[in-house]
Amino acid sequence: MALEKIRSIKIGFKSKKTENNLDVPQSTDNLDINASPKKKQKKEKKGHRSLTKIDILSKLGLSRTGELIGVDIGTSSIKIGTVKKTKEGYQLTHIAKKTYAENLLTEGHIVDQDFVAHEIREIVTKNNIKSTIAASALSSYGAIIKKIRLPLSEDMDIEKIMKNPSILEETGLIITEIENSIPFQLKEVYYSYHVLGLDPEDENFINVLFVVSKKEIVDGFIDTFRMAGLKLVLLDLDLISLINIVEQIYGLHGSPVMIVDLGATVMNMAIVKGPYIDLTREVMLGGTYLTEQIQKALKAGYLEAEEKKIKADPEITYLFEDFIFNISSEINKTINFYLSTKPNESISKIFITGGGSLLEGIIDKIYNDTNINIEIIDPFLIVGGEAAVKQNVYKEYREFIPVALHLSTRIDDIVR
């Protein structure tokens, strides 16, 4: 049975709903974001484009347009960023985030599409964002990412495949691999794949990365954006976006690096070597779990517990220890597993992001346990670095905005 790729966006307009606004601190108004006087922007990296980019929604015949709105829908927040391309590189044009007490996602699904659509619309309007095209990312939790090795038959050579990857589908190998890797029926999913190249360990094989997501999750995103008055033109995976932004900013690494996103409900990890994603792992543990522990200990509501956590109130910091221990040991487990399969490798750096990475003591603990240098991903390096944006914007967004900003830079992938 043939799998379905998304070729067009379907129409599914539903009425908007405006209730249950669950605001925690937010800054969705039109911000003065760029520092002045303007510093020279970092030159955009030319040349190598990532090999790992996966679009579940492929290019959709767009006319030339100025900005692509990057929208990262996390479990606890919506983050929006837009960049504009100038001669000196990208310039930040809009940035916004809004946080919610109730989960926006569950197992990758948008829980309440009407609500999320309304919220996106409101953020876009408040920020005076004029563009109507958007790029978003599925939570890796709602998708299956897998690297597979396929035998290279005699009549196929790698150049031919790289030029025209769809010939792989004709062999049926890809479809069989996907079918064997998913706990669903084929007709329930959309898929996308990317040929990574020859297997470095055995040139009779090629490595292919594929992503599969349930149709209802993808359709939910498409419908939500439509309801928000936006056209969703590109749908990535949050983890793949992060891998790509690390590459975009810090370049390719000869030795393996780890990327960790500590979110509200999921910690996403990847180990990447050069253009290859060697391993990905999601663990259902995030900042919300700690907030719930604080709620229980104090018999307090969500907002109070969340505030105390963010301020590292001495009354509750004793609760941090176990949580941090668990996060750090999951990172260690991932590293140890990886090294057990690749005993000659070592991880040279851990790139970290996500709101959970702001928790007091967490980075020190990870460093102490792993003895690996840790770098907080600085997404603003895409738009000229810390000096190019206001200090408050830099502080408030650094850990939250990488995916949204990266998505916005993907305008290059959709403008023809």
The residues of the shown chain that bind ligand ATP, judged by CB under 6 A, are 74-77, 105, 139, 263-266, 286-288, 291, 306, 309-310, 354-356, 358-359, 400
Q: What are 31's strand-pairing partners?
A: none
Is position 74 an interface residue for Mg ion (rule: CB under 5 A)?
A: yes
Nearer of residues 152 and 358 to ligand ATP, judged by Cβ: 358
Question: Are the beta carbons of 97 and 80 closer than 8 angstroms?
Answer: yes
Query: Binding partner of residue 191 among Mg ion, ligand ATP, none, CB under 5 to 8 Å per kind?
Result: none
Smallest distance from Mg ion to CB 145, Å: 15
Smallest distance from ligand ATP to CB 213, Å: 15
* 402-409 vs 238-250: helix crossing angle, rounded to 10: 80
Smallest distance from ligand ATP to CB 21, Å: 16
Nearer of residues 263 and 384 to Mg ion, judged by Cβ: 263
Closest-CA residue to 261 (of 201, 330, 214):
330
Nearer of residues 26 and 132 to ligand ATP, judged by Cβ: 26
Question: Are the beta carbons of 147 and 277 closer than 8 angstroms?
Answer: yes
Query: Binding partner of residue 241 among ligand ATP, Mg ion, none, CB under 5 to 8 Å per kind?
Result: none
Dihedral angle over CA of 119, 122, 127, 129, nearest 10:
100
Smallest distance from ligand ATP to CB 105, Å: 6
Site for Mg ion in 7-26 (CB under 5 A): none
Q: Mapping DSSP to helix (H, G, I), strand (E, B) and coil, where does residue 379 land?
A: helix
Binding residues for Mg ion, total number by CB under 5 A: 2
Is position 256 an interface residue for Mg ion (rule: CB under 5 A)?
A: no
Q: Which residues of 243-268 are buried (b: 16+ CB within 10 A; e: fewer)?
A: bbbbbbbbeebeebbbbbbbbbbbbb
* Tokens (6 digits) for 141: 């939790």
Do the strands 143-151 and 267-273 form a parallel or antiparallel pair, or are they unpaired? unpaired
Task: Determine the interface stretch with Mg ion among 68-76, 189-197, 296-304, 386-394 (rule: CB under 5 A).
Answer: 68-76
Nearer of residues 74 and 220 to Mg ion, judged by Cβ: 74
Query: Binding partner of residue 259 among Mg ion, ligand ATP, none, CB under 5 to 8 Å per kind?
Result: none
Is position 108 an interface residue for Mg ion (rule: CB under 5 A)?
A: no
Question: Are the beta carbons of 390 and 33 closer than 8 angstroms?
Answer: yes
Nearer of residues 72 and 177 to Mg ion, judged by Cβ: 72
Task: Determine the interface stretch with Mg ion among 15-23, 41-49, 73-81, 386-394 (rule: CB under 5 A).
Answer: 73-81
Segment holding 132, helix H or strand E: none
Is position 70 an interface residue for Mg ion (rule: CB under 5 A)?
A: no
Question: Are the beta carbons of 54 and 236 closer than 8 angstroms?
Answer: yes
Rounded-to-5 percentages of helix, strand, coil across the chain = 35, 25, 35
Answer for which of 108, 142, 256, 263 binds Mg ion (CB under 5 A) is 263
Question: At residue 116, what is the residue type?
Answer: V
Q: What is the contact surface with Mg ion in residues (CB under 5 A)?
A: 74, 263
